Amino acid sequence: MELKNKILNIINVIESKHLNDPTKSDDYDKITKLLLMDVNKTIQVIENFDLEDLEHICSDFEELSYKFQNKEFVECLKNLEKKYPKKMSSEIQSGIEAYYGN
């Protein structure tokens, strides 16, 4: 689970920074790039993250879904919705709606 560890390390860096540190956006961009590399690994990461970690990446759900156009990714988001009702719901819905496949 190398991808998971890379992302968790970046999240730790983000959390150690001041709330208004402008370099945090660069860190979030690094996470996005890592997540976009492989849909299957991204699904594994999302399925194994806890809620706190997911909240760091949920803003990427729409972009990931749009770029992946992958039914399994959308199913992963739907499972998150069941697992964490009322959490990240707008981000999850945006991710589901960004998929225009069957």
Residue 102 belongs to a domain: no
Is residue 75, in this structure, part of any structural domain at all? yes
pLDDT for res 31: 97
Per-residue H/E/C for the chain: CHHHHHHHHHHHHHHHCCCCCCCHHHHHHHHHHHHCCCHHHHHHHHHHCCHHHHHHHHHHHHHHHHHHCCHHHHHHHHHHHHHCCCCCHHHHHHHHHCCCCC
Identify the pLDDT of residue 102. Answer: 60
Domain span including residue 70: 2-14+24-97
Mean pLDDT, rounded, of the chain: 95
- Does residue 98 have a pLDDT over 90? yes
Rounded Cα–Cα distance for residues 40 and 11 (Å): 21
Total of domains in the chain: 1
pTM of the model: 0.91
